[in-house]
């Protein structure tokens, strides 16, 4: 019983570690490919990988006709709108700052979960999320209190945050009915349908760059297999067991892992403000998980 209660927390943590690295991998791929093309290839590879895994594990299941619309809605939120916001934001801001903004998702997710799913919001959950949000804000400024990111980039990423909250609510409904592999495979397959016309209309003239096989291959495979497949399966499992609010709290950890990946892989400077912000983010995460007397 203890292991079953502990496992969803472990799967959420592993998903966040992978997603922390995904910002750096995306930045590396964007040096050769455009964002839409990157995501389309990422989803195609992910679908092939999950289809094979699904057969090997014999986890095939049919999607009920009444749920098809919900799958299309969830996929429209994420991967489609979310990845557009995140990817075009990454073109303008550093991976660490991008992930810091994404870490604000838990600040808004409980509100969506409360309004739609009637999930309870505890007092300490609110306190912890506010503290974490302050840590995220600290990471966005330098010692002169100057904003270190472009406004358009920030707007793109905040769009991704809002979309992610909507996705979390729809994901909860699907995670309660289907196994995680099915959910992610179907959503990514629909994501391919959404992104194909987008790439043909917006990035058609950039498609020849796909043939420039080189350094982008490895990070692209990491994005497809780890970030778009394994981590989403783990996160979907966590949402099904813990709920939207508690699972999204782990998003606060993403900037920590992104900062580590950025420092070692692309040599991004980790300033004192970023380090202090990371510590505050961790403190907020701990606070949000504390249960006070009278709360279940």
Please report where in the chains the tokens 């964007």 appear, as a residue: 30
Element (H, E) at 253: none
Q: Which domain holds residue 144?
A: 18-57+66-288
Tens-level pLDDT at each residue, the chain (296 residues)? 456 678 999 999 999 999 999 999 999 999 999 999 999 999 999 999 999 999 998 878 899 999 999 999 999 999 999 999 999 999 999 898 888 888 777 767 666 667 776 667 777 777 877 887 788 778 777 777 777 778 899 899 999 998 988 898 788 889 889 999 999 999 999 999 999 999 999 998 888 888 877 789 999 999 999 999 999 999 999 988 888 777 877 877 888 899 999 999 998 888 888 888 888 877 877 777 676 555 54
What pLDDT is recorded for position 127?
84
What pLDDT is recorded for position 1?
46
CA–CA distances in Å: residue 264 to residues 24, 177, 270: 10, 40, 11
Q: What are phi and psi of 116, to 5 degrees?
A: -100, -45
What pLDDT is recorded for position 3?
61
What pLDDT is recorded for position 76?
97
Largest CA distance in the chain: 61
Residue of 111, 112, 108, 102 lying closest to 154 (CA atoms): 102
Instruction: Kindly state whether residue 10 falls inside one of the protein's structural domains.
Output: no
Instruction: Kindly state whether residue 102 falls inside one of the protein's structural domains.
Output: yes
Please tell me whether residue 40 adopts helix, strand or coil conformation: helix
Residue of 14, 24, 255, 232 lying closest to 133 (CA atoms): 255
Burial of 62 (0-12, 13-18, 19+ CB in 10 A): exposed
What pLDDT is recorded for position 59?
78
Which residues contact residue 214 at a Cβ distance below 8 angstroms, ignoring those fewer than 6 apart? 32
Instruction: Kindly state whether residue 86 falls inside one of the protein's structural domains.
Output: yes
Instruction: Kindly state whether residue 296 falls inside one of the protein's structural domains.
Output: no
What pLDDT is recorded for position 17?
95
Please say whether the beta carbons of 140 and 97 come within 8 A: yes
Please say whether the beta carbons of 256 and 100 come within 8 A: no
Please say whether the beta carbons of 171 and 74 come within 8 A: yes
Give the span between the Cα atoms of 252 and 127, in whole angstroms. Answer: 14
Number of domains in the chain: 1
Instruction: Kindly state whether residue 13 falls inside one of the protein's structural domains.
Output: no
Please report where in the chains the tokens 């010692």 appear, as a residue: 143
Instruction: Kindly state whether residue 180 falls inside one of the protein's structural domains.
Output: yes
Instruction: Kindly state whether residue 8 falls inside one of the protein's structural domains.
Output: no
Please say whether the beta carbons of 174 and 74 come within 8 A: yes
What pLDDT is recorded for position 289?
65
Instruction: Kindly state whether residue 295 falls inside one of the protein's structural domains.
Output: no
Please say whether the beta carbons of 200 and 192 come within 8 A: no
What pLDDT is recorded for position 296?
47
DSSP label of 93: S
Helical H segments across 58-179, by residue range: 68-75, 82-90, 95-102, 105-112, 123-139, 151-175
Give the span between the Cα atoms of 149 and 191, in whole angstroms. Answer: 29
What pLDDT is recorded for position 186?
96
Give the span between the Cα atoms of 235 and 175, in whole angstroms. Answer: 10
């Amino acid at each position: 019983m203890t292991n079953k209660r502990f496992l969803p927390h472990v799967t959420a943590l592993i998903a966040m570690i992978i997603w922390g690295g995904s910002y750096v991998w995306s930045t590396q791929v964007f040096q050769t490919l455009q964002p839409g093309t990157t995501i389309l290839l990422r989803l195609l590879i992910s679908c092939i990988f999950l289809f094979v895994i699904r057969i090997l594990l014999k986890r095939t299941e049919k999607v009920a006709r009444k749920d098809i619309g919900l799958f299309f809605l969830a996929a429209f939120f994420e991967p489609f709108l979310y990845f557009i916001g995140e990817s075009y934001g990454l073109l303008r801001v550093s991976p660490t700052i991008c992930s810091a903004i994404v870490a604000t998702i838990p600040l808004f997710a409980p509100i969506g979960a409360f309004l739609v799913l009637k999930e309870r919001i505890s007092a300490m959950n609110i306190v912890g999320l506010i503290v974490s949000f302050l840590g995220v804000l600290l990471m966005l400024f330098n010692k002169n209190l100057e904003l270190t990111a472009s406004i358009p980039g920030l707007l793109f990423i905040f769009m991704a945050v809002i979309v992610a909250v909507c996705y979390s609510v729809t994901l909860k409904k699907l995670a309660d009915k289907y196994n995680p592999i099915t959910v992610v495979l179907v959503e990514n397959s629909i994501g391919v349908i959404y992104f194909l016309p987008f790439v043909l209309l917006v990035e058609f003239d950039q498609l020849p760059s796909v043939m420039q096989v080189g350094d982008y291959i490895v990070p692209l495979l990491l994005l497809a297999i780890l970030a778009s497949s394994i981590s989403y399966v783990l996160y979907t499992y966590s949402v099904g067991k813990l709920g939207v609010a508690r699972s999204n709290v782990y998003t606060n950890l993403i900037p920590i892992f992104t900062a580590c990946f950025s420092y070692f892989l692309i040599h991004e400077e980790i300033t004192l403000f970023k380090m202090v912000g990371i510590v505050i983010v961790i403190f907020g995460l701990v606070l949000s998980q504390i249960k006070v007397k009278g709360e279940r």
